[in-house]
């Protein structure tokens, strides 16, 4: 039904601006995706549909390595972050106020507050010292750094889930002589699972997207997909970057959709 | 308080800390701890080939604002540094204001749709928020480049013969930051408007308020916590931006983030880089404290 007459919540021009914002938000991304299928080299002149950039990205050894590395780091970091964040959420939620509570909150949320470039520089100095002292140059540094900044992204959905959970089920389990561990394993954890998976997905996406911290922490030859792309954008750009971006975009959209389905309130 | 109660409280706190310990350990090693190291480094002397030499000095902190003349040893204001600071603050403020100007109508529009539409539109705002910042900046780069979509279209339409140079200007950085940080403004604004009681508008109109008066006297004061939250969420990452100015601003239009990186690369002045990082951190902390004070004061009727 069309809106008629005077609506109190209507403000002149607001709808027009909103529609323009949505268009402006999606147009650049849409163009990037469209031109990843261009058969020509231009990002402005359409020459026909082709998968050549996907084929060339797939055949590119550096891209393969960077993708593999990104996936290893994101998997390891999201597992570490989700595990410690689940424990921390259990420790800090549904509990009487205790000494140092605020300190724990501030520390967990620290990666959200401190500018990435500052953390990146701090880690550069710190890890450079360790690298010299121990001689270890592996992926461990990147995994540690990613785990740390993923913790708040894992913690928040798990905590939200815990807060909305029905306490009585756990009390019932305890009444039926379940040990605390049995109660956790059989009652709390299954109920908490959607939050845990949601947290893991957000950390995975966050790790996969990181540029700045990775750029400063990585040793030579440890490019991840984003740092590889950054280097490519700086040089002569080929539409290969468009193809890689499109695949990453697709992955993000799939993960977010799953996340929303998991955390949707059923009411 | 009874002894039993006290014991229970102690056990409660102990459990909480024990369960949080692994997370705190990871954060201490790879996030919070290293910040202390930059604080220390900011008081050391630069090494010849990067890194530092051990020796206490205020040079790095002084170096933020003044530079020593290599010929006569006199100190004068470091114009180049001030230019970069001013550009960062100016672009961040512009970005904050502009995201608000377009973000507020957008949030209002979403909040006043029927519930099913609302969820879908919110999802549409959330997708770019979680999409790789690099990809979104790159998308803007492809549009505004000299041989990009915008200029090609304008030339083909015969409106211009020479491409308009947008990329590698301050305007390009502003445009890019507005694009990438807009969701951070819309989401908290939406949260505030969503709780807004539309009957207050009816009351306003019944009392012969004009649309402008309703907007200024009723809506804005009530959704103020959302406005402040959105502004902080946009201002902070803008000020520390690294990727966007690097891709859209090029080498000449640096912001603080790029300038910090420079000290650890070609600049080879780690203490100055550390001092600049601390300065950025302090500005961000002050902004957050201001936010917390505002949020607590206005939280009552949010």
A215, A227 Cβ separation under 8 angstroms: yes
Q: Note the pLDDT of residue B244.
A: 94
Rounded to a whole number of angstroms, the distance from the CA of B68 to the nearest CA of chain A is 25
Chain B residues near residue A121 by CB distance under 8 angstroms: 38, 260-261, 264, 273-274, 277
B173, B91 Cβ separation under 8 angstroms: yes
Asked if the Cβ–Cβ distance from A114 to B132 is below 8 Å, we say: no
- Encode burial over B47-63: b for 16+ CB neighbours within 10 A, e otherwise: eeeebbeeeebebbbeb
Give the mean model confidence (pLDDT) for residues A82-89: 96
Q: How is residue A185 annotated by DSSP?
A: I
Partner residue facing A17 (CB), from B102, B124, B153: B102
Looking at the fold, whether A22 and A122 belong to one and the same domain comes out as no
Q: Note the pLDDT of residue A1.
A: 43
Asked if the Cβ–Cβ distance from B29 to A92 is below 8 Å, we say: no
In a domain, residue A84? The reply is: yes
Asked if the Cβ–Cβ distance from B274 to A125 is below 8 Å, we say: yes
> Dihedral through CA A266, CA B128, CA A62, CA A141, nearest 10?
-70
Measured CA to CA, the distance from residue A131 to residue B99 in angstroms comes to: 42
In a domain, residue A198? The reply is: yes
In a domain, residue A3? The reply is: no
Looking at the fold, whether A30 and A117 belong to one and the same domain comes out as no
Q: Which domain holds residue A149?
A: 63-263
Q: Note the pLDDT of residue B302.
A: 37
In a domain, residue A112? The reply is: yes
What is the number of domains present in chain A? Answer: 2
Total count of residues recorded for chain A: 267
Give the mean model confidence (pLDDT) for residues B119-135: 90
In a domain, residue A210? The reply is: yes
Measured CA to CA, the distance from residue A231 to residue A254 in angstroms comes to: 27
Chain B residues near residue A95 by CB distance under 8 angstroms: 12, 15-16
Looking at the fold, whether A188 and A88 belong to one and the same domain comes out as yes
Q: Taking a contact as any Cβ pair under 8 Å apart, which residues of chain A between 155 and 214 contact chain B?
A: 155, 202, 205, 208-209, 211-212
Q: Taking a contact as any Cβ pair under 8 Å apart, which residues of chain B between 125 and 164 contact chain A?
A: 125-128, 130-136, 138-143, 145, 147-149, 151-153
- Model confidence at B5, pLDDT cuts 50, 70, 90, reads confident
First CA to last CA across chain A, in angstroms? 26
Rounded to a whole number of angstroms, the distance from the CA of A236 to the nearest CA of chain B is 12
Rounded to a whole number of angstroms, the distance from the CA of B69 to the nearest CA of chain A is 28
Rounded to a whole number of angstroms, the distance from the CA of B48 to the nearest CA of chain A is 16
Looking at the fold, whether A40 and A121 belong to one and the same domain comes out as no
The 10s digit of each residue's pLDDT in A194-237 is 899 989 998 999 999 999 999 999 998 999 999 999 998 877 66
Asked if the Cβ–Cβ distance from B141 to A233 is below 8 Å, we say: yes
Q: Taking a contact as any Cβ pair under 8 Å apart, which residues of chain B between 181 and 210 contact chain A?
A: 182, 186, 198, 201-202, 205
**Which of A73, A45, A233, A236 has its CA nearest to residue A142?**
A73
Looking at the fold, whether A152 and A204 belong to one and the same domain comes out as yes
Chain A residues near residue B232 by CB distance under 8 angstroms: none
Looking at the fold, whether A159 and A241 belong to one and the same domain comes out as yes
Looking at the fold, whether A99 and A30 belong to one and the same domain comes out as no
- State phi, psi for B207 to the nearest 5 degrees: -95, 25
Asked if the Cβ–Cβ distance from B30 to A145 is below 8 Å, we say: yes
Structure tokens given for B118: 């609302």
In a domain, residue A23? The reply is: yes
> What is the maximal distance between C-alpha atoms in chain B?
86
Chain B residues near residue A131 by CB distance under 8 angstroms: none
Looking at the fold, whether A137 and A200 belong to one and the same domain comes out as yes
Looking at the fold, whether A255 and A125 belong to one and the same domain comes out as yes
Looking at the fold, whether A132 and A205 belong to one and the same domain comes out as yes
The 10s digit of each residue's pLDDT in A148-193 is 999 999 999 999 889 888 788 888 888 898 888 898 899 889 999 9
Looking at A67-81, A130-144, A164-178, B89-103, which range is the least confident one? A164-178
Looking at the fold, whether A122 and A44 belong to one and the same domain comes out as no
Q: Note the pLDDT of residue A6.
A: 66
- The CATH number of residue A238's host domain is 1.10.3720.10
Instruction: Return the percentage of chain A with pLDDT > 70, whole number.
Output: 96
Asked if the Cβ–Cβ distance from A44 to B34 is below 8 Å, we say: no
Determine how many CB atoms are found less than 10 A away from the CB of residue B225.
Answer: 22
Structure tokens given for B52: 């530092």
Q: Taking a contact as any Cβ pair under 8 Å apart, which residues of chain B between 77 and 96 contact chain A?
A: none
Q: Can you name the residues that pair with B66 across neighbouring β-strands?
A: B77
Asked if the Cβ–Cβ distance from A87 to B23 is below 8 Å, we say: yes
- Model confidence at A238, pLDDT cuts 50, 70, 90, reads confident
Looking at the fold, whether A46 and A153 belong to one and the same domain comes out as no
In a domain, residue A256? The reply is: yes
- State phi, psi for B50 to the nearest 5 degrees: 90, -175
Chain A residues near residue B33 by CB distance under 8 angstroms: 126
- Name every residue whose Cβ is closer than 8 Å to that of residue B96 and which is 6 or more positions away in sequence: B185, B231, B234, B235, B238
Give the mean model confidence (pLDDT) for residues A61-73: 95
Q: Note the pLDDT of residue A151.
A: 96
- Model confidence at B130, pLDDT cuts 50, 70, 90, reads confident
Structure tokens given for B232: 């902080």
In a domain, residue A34? The reply is: yes
């Amino acid at each position: 039904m069309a809106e008629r007459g005077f609506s109190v919540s209507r403000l002149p021009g607001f709808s027009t601006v909103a529609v323009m914002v949505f268009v402006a938000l999606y147009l650049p991304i849409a163009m990037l995706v469209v031109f990843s299928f261009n058969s020509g080299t231009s990002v402005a002149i359409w020459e026909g549909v082709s998968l050549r950039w996907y084929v060339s990205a797939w055949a590119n050894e550096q891209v393969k390595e960077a993708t593999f590395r990104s996936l290893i780091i994101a998997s390891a970091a999201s597992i570490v972050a989700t595990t410690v964040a689940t424990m921390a959420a259990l420790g800090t939620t549904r509990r009487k106020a205790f000494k140092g509570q605020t300190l724990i909150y501030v520390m967990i949320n620290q990666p959200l507050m401190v500018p990435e470039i500052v953390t990146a520089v701090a880690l550069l100095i710190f890890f450079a010292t360790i690298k010299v002292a121990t001689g270890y140059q592996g992926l461990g540094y990147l995994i540690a750094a990613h785990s740390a900044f993923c913790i708040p992204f894992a913690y928040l959905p798990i905590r939200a889930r815990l807060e909305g959970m029905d306490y009585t089920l756990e009390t019932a389990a305890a009444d039926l002589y379940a040990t605390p561990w049995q109660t956790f394993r059989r009652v709390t954890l299954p109920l908490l699972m959607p939050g845990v998976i949601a947290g893991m997905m957000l950390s995975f996406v966050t790790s996969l997207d990181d540029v700045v911290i990775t750029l400063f922490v990585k040793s030579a030859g440890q490019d991840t997909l984003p740092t590889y792309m950054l280097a490519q954008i700086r040089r002569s750009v080929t539409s290969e970057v468009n193809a890689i971006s499109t695949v990453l975009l697709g992955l993000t959209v799939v993960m977010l959709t799953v996340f929303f389905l998991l955390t949707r309130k059923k009411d | 308080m009874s002894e039993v109660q006290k014991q229970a409280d102690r056990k409660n706190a102990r459990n909480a800390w024990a369960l949080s310990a692994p997370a705190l350990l990871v954060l201490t090693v790879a996030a919070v701890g290293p910040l202390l190291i930059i604080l220390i480094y900011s008081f050391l002397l630069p090494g010849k080939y990067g890194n530092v030499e051990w020796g206490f000095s205020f040079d790095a902190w002084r170096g933020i604002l003044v530079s020593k003349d290599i010929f006569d040893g006199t100190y004068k204001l470091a114009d180049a540094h001030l230019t970069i600071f001013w550009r960062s603050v100016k672009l961040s403020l512009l970005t904050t204001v502009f995201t608000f100007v377009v973000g507020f109508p957008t949030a209002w529009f979403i909040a006043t749709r029927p519930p099913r539409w609302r969820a879908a539109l919110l999802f549409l705002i959330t997708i770019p928020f979680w999409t790789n910042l690099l990809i979104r900046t790159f998308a803007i780069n492809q549009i505004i480049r000299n041989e990009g979509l915008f200029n090609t279209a304008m030339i083909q339409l015969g409106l211009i013969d020479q491409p308009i140079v947008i990329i590698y200007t301050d305007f390009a950085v502003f445009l890019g930051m507005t694009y990438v940080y807009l969701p951070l403004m819309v989401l908290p604004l939406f949260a505030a408007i969503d709780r807004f009681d539309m009957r207050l508008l009816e009351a306003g109109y019944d009392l012969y308020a004009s649309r402008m008066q309703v907007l200024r006297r009723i809506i804005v004061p009530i959704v103020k916590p959302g406005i402040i939250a959105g502004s902080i969420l946009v201002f902070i990452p803008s000020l520390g931006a690294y990727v966007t100015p690097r891709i859209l601003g090029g080498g000449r239009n640096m912001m603080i983030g790029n300038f910090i990186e420079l000290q650890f690369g070609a600049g080879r002045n780690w203490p100055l880089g550390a001092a600049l990082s601390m300065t950025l951190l302090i500005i961000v902390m002050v902004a957050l404290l201001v936010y917390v004070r505002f949020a607590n004061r206005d939280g009552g009727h949010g």
